[in-house]
Structure 1
Amino acid sequence: MRLLSALQVEFIYSLLQRGAPGLPSTLFIALQNLLLMKCSSHSSSYGTMPYLCGRAIASPPKMLPFRVPFNAKSDPLKLDLYPRLGLLHSLQCGNTKIEVPLQSSRKKQRSYAFVIRGDHPQNADLPRYYSKKEKKPFPVPIVELRRAARERIKNSKGKPRRPIPPPKNGLLVKSLIPVAYDVFNARIKLINNLKKLLKVVHVHACSWCNEIHVGPTGHPFRSCRGPNSSIRKGLHDWTTATVEDIFLPIEAYHLYDRLGKRIPHEERFAIPRIPALVELCIQAGVDIPEFPTKRRRKPIIRIGKSEFVDADESELPEPVPEAPEKLILTEIPDSEIIGPSSEDETILLAEETLRAWEQMRRGANKLMKLYYVRVCGYCPEVHVGPSGHKAQNCGAHKHQQRNGQHGWQAAVLDDLIPPRYVWHVPDVNGPPLLRELRSFYGQAPAVVEMCMQAGAAVPDEYKATMRLDVGIPNSLKEAEMVV
């Protein structure tokens, strides 16, 4: 593997300056990116070269592997130039690698495969849509779980039994109590800021399905799956969205004792339901007077696999009520919401909202690693606790065969905090989205899209699905010319 030499750079630069007549567009862009990365990584006499052949060059995009077939007969580049330039095998330039294997065949046409690899992908696949008739996949396959269980049993033979760590023994994980308060406050801050952003950012919701769109007007895509969608030919009926449409209120049963008995079907209406993220924070150490919970000061005593008794705490001194570790925020009523008055204030509000969104998701992910969160594999029902409840209120596909019982499995972060992906609008003040160019547009969580349209910078982790590095054609005729 070798880098581009000075002779190769001179040849590519002279080729691009002449306009490269007849050269395939994909090969033209690849040569431009190679030359730009060569000049940016090594100081040379060519400078930065912002424009080549009248085409503006930005930072080299991060592209995925692709294949470019073209006829060697009609290509103005002679095949004997490839061995002379060293392009027959591969090229390495920084973190990017281009391989050009020559595939000979009996036909006259030859296929040249260009494989460009980068550390960060240029675009990523959009999140898959799961039909209501499908069961959610397990985060960890059952085969892997059984293999890990057999390995644990094998390694524990002949060794003394270790004490059960918290939170399985009934105690709290002290290092996660501040994290629980941060997640709780970040959730409240996110809701309050979204109410303010709705005063300046337009968000639309379909009145027939659960799809939303962030932008001046609703998108024209025929993707409605609601009632009578066939009559409307899949078009959406857009109305004004609310905070609940952007940040879904996933609810769960509040448990007084998270290690107690499972909730039976007969008591499903006697137990209050609160947001699942709030219930997770309460079980992790947040004290809310409206929702009391049992706090143990000694580990439980296990009798069997699912049986235990509480330790005697009569010898311990009476617990002294302590002040909360952090101040708990409260939601602002809708009547008292005041939107930002200036553009600078809107940008600061968007950046603060994006930080609250990231802090809430990072903290919730830390809590879910130790505190159990269950989700039904057939419906969006979430339960915070070691085992799911017994309420037979699942109405998903073929629930009659399960007698309405939920199929509990381990939850992931998107089950607890659904991101609600929406179509990314490249230019808010530009032309609206076109139905014919749907494959060129990306997607982003609704909160991220709102903050970006309000002026906040986009985090790197969302740039792949938003497809910011993908050029969007101006018309359908130009889109048909894309290789």
Structure 2
Amino acid sequence: MSCSLVSPELGTSFLSCGQRIIPPNLGIFRYDPNPPQSLLKFPSSSSSKHSLVITCNNKNANPQNVDLPRHYSKKEKKPFPVPILELRRAARERMKTRKHQPQRSGGPPPPKNGLLVQSMIPLAYSVLNARTSLINNLKKLLKVIPVKACKYCNEIHVGPVGHPFRSCQGQNSSARKGKHEWVDAVVEDIIVQIESYHLEDRLGKRIPHEDRFSIPRIPALIELCIQAGVDLPKYPTKRRRKPIIRISKSEFIDADETELPDPTPESPIPELVRELEDVIPIPGEEIEIGLLAEETMKEWEKMRRGAKRLMKMYPVRVCGYCPEIHVGPTGHKAQNCGAYKHQQRNGQHGWQTAVLDDLIPPRYVWHLPDVAEPLLHKELRSFYGQAPAVVEICVQGGAAVPEEYKGTMRLDVGIPSNVREAEMVV
């Protein structure tokens, strides 16, 4: 954001902010005979008119009052993270540069050659521990902060009473005229467990349609951490110590590892946090809600930042028509897609590169402006903001609002006190 005030002598004054020109209010800006040199810019002495320019640069400021996340209908395909035209243009540029460069020796780098990226192993353990700590903290916060979930659809609301908006699309919603029926929510309603197939060899052959029931499915984030280096005895996976020998683009053989000595861990393996089965409050125990909310917010941000870094190194695929996730270089061949026009695709998924919200859905809920007045008004729906359910729970618990979520929460929007004031807003 760049703001400037130009005040020429005996001329007009205006405030320029980006591409908008706003007339200033008289009496707001005062002339200072000795202003700081960092804030003033004087024109050259050859100019006939002297002007005073005040600039204010804030490039790191996040936009306020941004649009709410778009909801794609079941008949729309998800957009590519990078447009297909840009992908083709980048591919042509790579082909041109390869013609004038010698062929690279040594094969592809990890993890494409079957080896692990050693610098990502501690990060994988950190992401898995952050996920477990987040679930444990949410189980404690749900004992104090009420969260409601609709009985017929997947919508949730953070507050003692549900919101009055008639947006239910579940079973018999037409008979109820879109009205929600609220019940107490659980952790699974807040953190959506997107499952994927567990691969014993992430470079192995693609999962055929006939084996779709014999291969276990686990949360996709756990599968990503396993492929990045986390060892779980319950889910074994193949670890190579020598790069693979590539025969063709789709064929390879494993190198001989019989002459290698027994592997010795160079650094101690980080300890994994155990997930609590159920949290029962002890009589007389006082929970510091503010500290717990701040810790939960940190675990949420830590999990998302770490998962985003892992996705840049270990590819994750998502279907463009349904929420199916596959952690691996190529998607599976199971024909279990039931989205729009799946008959034309014979049930096959339309695989594309996944983004962070595909792996960890944020589950946006309505932001409660005042906790003392938890009832929202359906006439003022356009004035309310939204935030991820975890963020809204932590904010109501006393945590500070992160900068990246202030735009959708609409914290600087004045909410009218009644319907008449709302109708006067242009």
TM-score, normalized by the shorter chain, greater than 0.5: yes
Which ranges of structure 2 fall in alignment gaps of 5 or more residues?
Answer: 15-21, 35-50
Residues 107-163 of structure 1: CA distance to partner in whole angstroms, max 9, x if unpaired?
xxxxxxxxxx99432211000001111111111111111111111111011433223
Structure 2 residue corresponding to 1:134, chosen from 41, 64, 76 = 76
Which ranges of structure 1 fall in alignment gaps of 5 or more residues?
Answer: 13-26, 45-85, 97-116
Distance 1:359 1:414 in 2: 15
Distance 2:159 2:279 in 1: 24
Aligned to 1:469: 412
Conservation of the 8 A alpha-carbon contact between 1:250 and 1:276 = yes
Q: CA deviation at 1:480?
A: 1.6
Distance 2:64 2:238 in 1: 49
Distance 1:476 1:317 in 2: 76
- Specify the SS of the correspondent of 2:96: helix
Deviates more, 1:117-126 or 1:359-368: 117-126
Conservation of the 8 A alpha-carbon contact between 2:192 and 2:361 = yes
Scaled by the length of structure 2, what TM-score is found?
A: 0.87
Distance 2:223 2:74 in 1: 26
Deviates more, 1:141-150 or 1:407-416: 141-150
Conservation of the 8 A alpha-carbon contact between 1:95 and 1:118 = no
Aligned to 2:135: 191
- Pick the structure with more helix per residue: 1
Q: Which has the higher contact order (CA 8 A, sep 6+)?
A: 2
Residues 195-239 of structure 1: CA distance to partner in whole angstroms, max 9, x if unpaired?
000001111111111111101210011111222222212111111
Query: What is the one-letter code of the residue matched to 1:387?
Result: T
Aligned to 1:106: none
- Specify the SS of the correspondent of 1:94: strand
Aligned to 2:173: 229
Structure 2 residue corresponding to 1:214, chosen from 139, 155, 158 = 158
Aligned to 2:315: 372
Answering whether residue 103 of structure 2 is matched by residue 161 of structure 1, we say yes
Aligned to 1:329: 273
Structure 1 residue corresponding to 2:293, chosen from 339, 345, 350 = 350
Map 1:174-189; keep pairs closer than 5 Å.
174-189=118-133
Distance 2:55 2:377 in 1: 37
Structure 1 residue corresponding to 2:242, chosen from 298, 323, 328 = 298
Distance 1:221 1:295 in 2: 51
Residues 46-99 of structure 1: CA distance to partner in whole angstroms, max 9, x if unpaired?
xxxxxxxxxxxxxxxxxxxxxxxxxxxxxxxxxxxxxxxx9xxx9856349xxx
Map 1:225-264; keep pairs closer than 5 Å.
225-264=169-208
Structure 1 residue corresponding to 2:63, chosen from 104, 111, 121 = 121
Scaled by the length of structure 1, what TM-score is found?
A: 0.77
Map 1:44-443; keep pairs closer than 5 Å.
94-95=56-57, 119-162=61-104, 163-320=107-264, 324-334=268-278, 336=280, 341-342=285-286, 345-430=288-373, 432-443=375-386
Structure 1 residue corresponding to 2:395, chosen from 440, 452, 457 = 452
Conservation of the 8 A alpha-carbon contact between 1:473 and 1:479 = yes
Aligned to 1:67: none
Q: CA deviation at 1:338?
A: 5.8
Residues 333-381 of structure 1: CA distance to partner in whole angstroms, max 9, x if unpaired?
11556699546x0111000000000000000000000101000111111
Question: Would you say how many aligned residue pairs link Structure 1 and Structure 2?
Answer: 398
What is the percentage of aligned positions where both structures have the same residue?
68
- Relative distance call for 1:121 and 1:42 in structure 2 (3 A) is farther
Residues 427-472 of structure 1: CA distance to partner in whole angstroms, max 9, x if unpaired?
1112511101111000000000000001101111100100001111
Distance 1:340 1:323 in 2: 42
Residues 256-287 of structure 1: CA distance to partner in whole angstroms, max 9, x if unpaired?
00000001111111111111000000000111
Distance 1:6 1:158 in 2: 57
Cα RMSD between the aligned structures? 3.0
Query: What is the one-letter code of the residue matched to 1:332?
Result: L
Aligned to 1:81: none
Conservation of the 8 A alpha-carbon contact between 1:196 and 1:340 = no
Deviates more, 1:425-434 or 1:317-326: 317-326
